[in-house]
Structure 1
């Protein structure tokens, strides 16, 4: 099926198709083309296989998703979808599978990590969504609160109540028609996430006869869930900060007697738990074996089964302190649903009422939603699933054997609200979602946005930058007035800094000297408070899972909670805050301060394979600024968490809207659209939304198959081989036959050829049989690339791959002619002594097969420049050497053979 793909000046894809399923295929295909490396990394992260190519630092994440049963949860959620939604998600994965083999050749990271792309399952998009949001609600904060209660007492928990360094937040606002210059609603905002390269959001437009929607999609997930404009209606979300994941202390033991089962102590005594083992492959290291256990509460994510049961435990099995594991209970796994039936319904929405109905199906994550339509409809609600259970569950880890900690089976009602003073603001603070959570953001961003919006009676879309770019840091005033203003008796250098801080305008602009002084003092104070003996017990412990350290780091927690912690009566009386404040300022005065905040506050995106030579720019803002860009005070000023996108949706005219992402539309480093939005993003500007098809540039139509590339090929009837496609008799050598390669049946023999030094230029040395099968399952799913086995008298002797150069990265490096056919040919190792003339005969048989297609006018080969043996063989076969070209995975020498000069057909 053919879909039309257009691009705007920033390379943002605009897709048109004949129906919703064709459009879903096109969205999957264009996502694979633009973000192949990114979505394959995410797919491996969902499976717990990222350490196999990224290294041992990824083992802890792989272990978490294996133990949490993330892939199994995704399968369950997929199976619960309606038939129509299943078909829609399946179409998206078909599109991914159709484009990924070609796209991976354009992404240099695949060659750098020796990663082979593999087929996506229909449930893979749901697994990616789960992977992105597994830690979104911050359940590790319950481990932190347990530790605070243990070390400082329950009253100290309130001092740390803020959106900590591991959280994801957002700004969002909605102006009703009476508050805009056009008389139609406006929505604006920006999600705050850890910045990734490529970015976590994908600007895209999806158009078919049923709908025409543009917005910010998550690469690897169909539709547009969070931020979108459908012409007559627009919507946006923020993290509600609701608490909907629980942690349980588990008492585990091996099943007494024969067998290797596991039991868990629950409210009614010992109960059977499911258990197993999984092996995590690790690049350049020995594999790691993890045990998986799932109790009646949920999968165990911390700890495990003790080596032996403690004596005397049978009399007091639920005793506190004798638990050895922690399990996780979360709605997606309990309900077997993520709410993905809402996604196609959102695309078809025409009004606020449609959006509202669609989101009634939503499960996870739990968001605050704002929406508006051209008829004046407005929506401000929470969407998602929060279980009804005891209040203690929300605060800390609870006991698995405590009946009071069990979920009731009921779900909390989702709060709604109207618009006060013609506007609504959502910024992760207490408000609409207060009944559903425990730990919210400080109110500073929400109050500042409201104050900015109230500073003028009406707004236009173009004026929204004044909100997006505001750098006022409200908590700075609180800290300076409480701690710094009272200081006396400072050294001259420290007193000079005090005077700078007092006169500073409280704005965290990148070019601000005052902001640099404040940040330096704040970092020094954070380090001193954290090192205070009263807080020493908060230091991470040896058995803390590394994947949870961002939530358990005292530096990160203290640095983001200074306002609360330094309030009177929060910390123990032994903590001399005034002395720490004075010594921090003296420390900074002695060490010196950067000239500006931007000298140390620079963007620091997460990259799966870190680049070595990228210099990231200085950024404005700070954690509690509207222009949010978070660092970890006391540890680093680098900003890893900031606006993952910014948007303004204008209901008067969609073309008045704007959007921007931190980098660009493409994930390929060589693309001009890899980071062409970075400058706009740093300055707080938006790229224009363009919807006129006449102003967009159309790409070559992309054809995708309507069936997915097979993951496990269907068995051959009766074990029969695929039919012979072509035969050729070479005098003196014998008969050759060509048949289509079967990925399942032929993977082992092909693996035996490619996993050897003689085939090093084929690029698959070190691959497993399964990886070889996956590669050729992809090829089997393409219309433009094909793989064949050549047989001599019934024995496999060669592997032939053909492709259309115009649909291959090679086509970007030479002038493709009509009728060109690309080919790769691999000879099997000889059995016994090499037979004279056999290689030439095999090449002749291959050409005889290719020339059998009258549309083929010229054969193009691209051997590695170092593969001199191949060069000689091609030259003997009549090929003419062409130019040298630099491809992503090799430097190649082109060879050409035209039909009129090629070897004559022999059979």
Structure 2
């Protein structure tokens, strides 16, 4: 054989060997990756041992991994629930307790230190520890056995065997060790819920920050219009407080404005009535640059805190209940869909809990918390929406080191130290200070940590006295040091920072057999304050507003209060019996969708920052239309939940069309506006050409682009972080301005000419047409709303890591979604940032009280928290298209639909 042929043969063998090695290596790496992913998948079939049980527990799961648990005792039931939550969602549970404990730096290192400082300053975990001491004995027992169930699972799983996230975490924090679950970990989660649903704190900070940025009081008031009681019906339309009890049939007392519109009065505390003084803002009243800088920096710092339920005005919910007189079965139908931030996995865990005891309940739970939060038992069903009362107040404090000024006197601040462990770094110790109003949250800002070391001083060098003027302005500061040392700090008063009994309420709701017991449970549901709707198998429907809502001495909670004046302190809380409630209303149905709870004559101040009622009014219209067409069915209610009609488009579209007709629009803008001809104002994500959905989707795409550009053009003078976000709050602001064509708001700050309303409407229409032509082509009929309005469900811990492979592991692919902000199908988006979805119906539930087996439910993603598990995102497409799953109830039905059965043995 020639040397050339020998060489060629050897090269061929080397190449084959190399291919074989690469193939083997690829196979090994693939198998290793599959093993790494799958080794955390839980066992859902067969038998497992769960120490502590008194008898076997049976768990049936359907194709979607939804467990129905059958136990002998309540203790066995919640021990099993803890085990199952840990099986499917332990990383989520562990991440949540690090959030609530201010311990994120233990997981992710120094990058989370400032967040931990804020969380430790507020002290969520400390309050949860205090709550443990006041809970009922049964509640403590259930929380303990739940923790025992979690820990039984942890005894057999650690690191990567617990969840794929731990394998990824180990790449940067190999020293992390999972610790045992404690009952207080479950209670602390309630603080995270309350934080995300805390009411108007964001608005209070924004108002103060805008004043600090130089806007006038009137300009800020323009951005917070009154609730439109004349257009959008509150939840409770009749009733008053009689002898300390709310009576739904009592005539409304005339002339009171306790729940009045913004800017109307400075309401008094308990007992109603109003005083004539206009509410002050403490920052505005000082005229001091230090105070202004304090609130501006605080706004930025708090905005960076993690949100476990979501963020922004999209956080809300829909619920309604229809009396049996209006339904095809003769029994009530109850519907609920809470609107929260999209997360992977979804916020809810579906399960049924059944035992030979008082618990026989199914519905939605939170991993980490025993029981069912929203659902039904064998007698009643209930749903929740955010009541959104004003339960937070910010106080501007004058401080001097460890002292705070109150009514002209210096009083000691409370202090404590907190030590924060930092992965890969040294421990950090902080000092937390608190006034009588609450923790000094401004201390948590790296930019403002020195505030309060020295108060404003007069020329003689002594502390400035409290001003005697109504404006409460201190003497001008002559301090030559940095204005951070001018002696101002901000304290947070928040109802959730006081121990409460919400955990007791959850178990009481789960077992309540009727309206009386339901209300008794609601009385303990203190934070977060929620609208509770009710229905039972006897045909009763009802509503209760629960929650711990403060009564203020002075002020209405809209503006930051002067902490140095005790007249602005809370005087107590609205008694539960005086909070609005309704039983079997004459209309035959009730709707709660974050609108005003009750009219302006209600004697107590609940809030002035409601949602503006676009969703609730549309639901009223849908129910009445279905009622007029015949008896209402579960299918009708499911269609209502997926309604995509934009309630503001009928107001804005004619105004834009008029502006275009008065100007000289481009041919593209004219063609785009033609999309609105005969538009039904529905906003489907997609649709074929020459179909109703296709035409509506094209019209919606152009409308929402116009809406976004209109807000950007009109409110260009606002700081970027405080731009209007396009929610129903923005609807009301713009609605008012449309009637004021010469308002200064229409004038753009960067031009020399003075623009009016029609100039801005015309410019927004042209800009929107140009944007869509660039992004989707120059044929308006081919534009689609869903190409802009997409949802990417991201893992809460690693989903925005910036590492492409990690995000690919845990996040879902983007999907086109219907709906929009302030629409019944509430897929919210922030117009200041783009069109991407930032709030969604996190689940949908419909309960048929005539046949509980006919009830329906769905959640955003899936029941499993394990990436690549078949139940990780198997509900997402069904959710996206408005479909639901059977919410099985009877044991025979559950067993017939079981795909897997697991027996937990003692």
Tell me the TM-score normalized by structure 2: 0.71
Q: What is the 5 A alignment of 1:793-872? A: none
Equivalent in the alignment of 2:895: 694
Distance 1:162 1:470, change over 3 A: farther
Distance 1:143 1:507, change over 3 A: same
Equivalent in the alignment of 1:669: 867
Equivalent in the alignment of 2:807: 612
Is it true that 1:597 corresponds to 2:798 in the alignment? no
Is it true that 1:645 corresponds to 2:843 in the alignment? yes
Is it true that 1:556 corresponds to 2:748 in the alignment? no
Structure 2 distance, partners of 1:27, 1:670, is: 23
**Of 432, 436, 439, which residue of structure 2 is paired with 1:299?**
439
Structure 2 distance, partners of 1:485, 1:27, is: 60
Structure 1 distance, partners of 2:727, 2:351, is: 39
Is it true that 1:109 corresponds to 2:160 in the alignment? no
Structure 2 distance, partners of 1:264, 1:102, is: 52
Between stretches 192-201 and 56-65, larger displacement belongs to 56-65
**Of 564, 581, 596, which residue of structure 2 is paired with 1:416?**
581
Equivalent in the alignment of 2:708: 523
Max radius of gyration: which structure? 1
Q: What is the 5 A alignment of 1:320-359? A: 320=473, 324-334=488-498, 336-359=499-522
Is it true that 1:23 corresponds to 2:23 in the alignment? no
Is it true that 1:213 corresponds to 2:361 in the alignment? yes
Distance 1:647 1:251, change over 3 A: same
* Deviation digits for residues 342-365 of structure 1 (CA, Å, limit 9, x no counterpart): 122112211222211211222111
Distance 1:359 1:431, change over 3 A: closer
**Of 365, 374, 380, which residue of structure 1 is paired with 2:543?**
380
Q: What is the 5 A alignment of 1:751-770? A: none
**What is the total number of aligned residue pairs between the two structures?**
679
Equivalent residues of 1:605, 1:640 under 8 A apart: no
Distance 1:572 1:93, change over 3 A: farther
Q: What is the 5 A alignment of 1:760-799? A: none
Structure 2 distance, partners of 1:185, 1:197, is: 33
Structure 2 distance, partners of 1:310, 1:391, is: 25
Equivalent residues of 2:397, 2:488 under 8 A apart: yes
Give the CA deviation at 1:106. 4.0
Equivalent in the alignment of 1:837: none
Give the CA deviation at 1:101. 4.7
Distance 1:167 1:518, change over 3 A: closer
Equivalent in the alignment of 1:125: 186
Structure 1 distance, partners of 2:108, 2:623, is: 46
Give the CA deviation at 1:66. 0.6
Structure 2 distance, partners of 1:13, 1:460, is: 27
Between stretches 436-445 and 605-614, larger displacement belongs to 605-614
Give the CA deviation at 1:433. 8.2
| Aligned-partner SS, 2:337 | strand
* Deviation digits for residues 450-474 of structure 1 (CA, Å, limit 9, x no counterpart): 1111112321223322101110001
Structure 1 distance, partners of 2:422, 2:343, is: 23
Structure 2 distance, partners of 1:483, 1:57, is: 46
Distance 1:286 1:582, change over 3 A: farther
Structure of higher RCO (CA pairs closer than 8 Å, 6+ residues apart): 2
Structure 2 distance, partners of 1:320, 1:79, is: 43
**Of 863, 879, 901, which residue of structure 2 is paired with 1:681?**
879
Structure 1 distance, partners of 2:320, 2:105, is: 40
Give the CA deviation at 1:410. 3.9
Distance 1:76 1:242, change over 3 A: same
Structure 1 distance, partners of 2:412, 2:599, is: 37
Structure 2 distance, partners of 1:268, 1:376, is: 59
Cα RMSD for the two superposed structures? 2.5
Equivalent residues of 2:376, 2:510 under 8 A apart: no
Is it true that 1:188 corresponds to 2:335 in the alignment? yes
**Of 361, 367, 377, which residue of structure 2 is paired with 1:230?**
377
Query: Which structure 2 residue ranges, 5 or more long, are not aligned?
Result: 1-52, 171-175, 228-310, 444-448, 475-485, 687-696, 748-755, 777-782, 800-805
Equivalent in the alignment of 2:594: 428
**Of 678, 681, 684, which residue of structure 2 is paired with 1:506?**
681
* Deviation digits for residues 752-798 of structure 1 (CA, Å, limit 9, x no counterpart): xxxxxxxxxxxxxxxxxxxxxxxxxxxxxxxxxxxxxxxxxxxxxxx
Distance 1:238 1:558, change over 3 A: closer
Between stretches 677-686 and 491-500, larger displacement belongs to 491-500
| Aligned-partner SS, 2:198 | coil
Equivalent in the alignment of 2:195: 134
| Aligned-partner SS, 2:144 | helix
**Of 652, 671, 677, which residue of structure 2 is paired with 1:496?**
671
| Aligned-partner SS, 2:441 | strand
Equivalent in the alignment of 2:40: none
**Of 401, 405, 408, which residue of structure 1 is paired with 2:564?**
401
Equivalent residues of 1:558, 1:565 under 8 A apart: no
| Aligned-partner SS, 2:608 | coil
Between stretches 280-289 and 465-474, larger displacement belongs to 280-289
Equivalent in the alignment of 1:145: 207
Structure 1 distance, partners of 2:632, 2:729, is: 33
Give the CA deviation at 1:216. 0.8
* Deviation digits for residues 830-860 of structure 1 (CA, Å, limit 9, x no counterpart): xxxxxxxxxxxxxxxxxxxxxxxxxxxxxxx
Equivalent in the alignment of 1:472: 645
Structure 1 distance, partners of 2:536, 2:727, is: 43
* Deviation digits for residues 264-306 of structure 1 (CA, Å, limit 9, x no counterpart): 1123621111224434445567766544111111112224543
Equivalent residues of 2:62, 2:900 under 8 A apart: no
Structure 1 distance, partners of 2:666, 2:422, is: 54
Is it true that 1:315 corresponds to 2:464 in the alignment? yes
| Aligned-partner SS, 2:382 | strand
Equivalent in the alignment of 2:856: 658
| Aligned-partner SS, 1:96 | helix
* Deviation digits for residues 796-832 of structure 1 (CA, Å, limit 9, x no counterpart): xxxxxxxxxxxxxxxxxxxxxxxxxxxxxxxxxxxxx
Q: What is the 5 A alignment of 1:869-884? A: none
Distance 1:530 1:77, change over 3 A: same
Distance 1:116 1:557, change over 3 A: farther
Is it true that 1:61 corresponds to 2:236 in the alignment? no
